[in-house]
Amino acid sequence: MSPVQLIAYLGPAALISAGIAAFLWLGLRLPFGLRPRHALTLFLVCFFLTLTQYPLPDRAALDCSAGGVAPILRPFETFAHIQRMLAWEGNDPAAVTWRSWVGSKVLQAAVMNLLLCAAIGAAFAWQGKAGWRSALGLAVVLSGGAEMAQLTGLFGLYPCAFRTFEVDDLIFNIGGLMAGFTLLRWWQAA
């Protein structure tokens, strides 16, 4: 994706997520005592969930003849992709361009997963009460739920999977959330 395409993709997702998070926060703040800082965590979780499913495909254009999009069940396939990119570029310094790396959708997805989930982990740590086990539980439920929605065609709302279920997403999402949580806790303690 080019920078313009990335902004066009992230902008509407952020607006949708902000609306959902504001609605949830306003509805839950009195019964559950949510504070303004909880709104950030709600927004980031909504943004993550929106990005994992967005854009929703047109049902008529969805090809389910082969069972939908095949899952990628091999762990650390992202690193195999990096190895393939390095092999394609070989030893030719002219072949190594920043555009080939920045334009790689596999690397974009991995970096976005790590950064967004790290932000969720940091926001969760900012709540002040949650422990490491709670953060791990949030990471597993959030990432597992998003990936299961992709694997099952949004829990059966679509006849087949329309997004790619990847084991790497589980690894990067959980790792990113735990890294963000741990780094903020470490920073708060310092």
Structure tokens of 141?
Answer: 């439920």
Domains held by the chain: number: 1
Structure tokens of 104?
Answer: 């790689």
Determine which helix (DSSP H) or strand (DSSP E) holds 22, and give its type and residue range: helix 3-32
Domain holding 148, by residue range, is 3-189
pLDDT in tens, 108-152: 889 999 999 999 999 999 887 788 999 999 999 999 999 999 998
Would you state the pLDDT for residue 115? 94
Residue 159 has pLDDT above 70, yes or no: yes
Given a contact cutoff of 8 angstroms between Cβ atoms, the answer to whether 176 and 115 are in contact is yes
pLDDT in tens, 26-60: 777 777 777 777 888 888 888 898 888 888 888 88
More confident residue, 83 or 158: 158
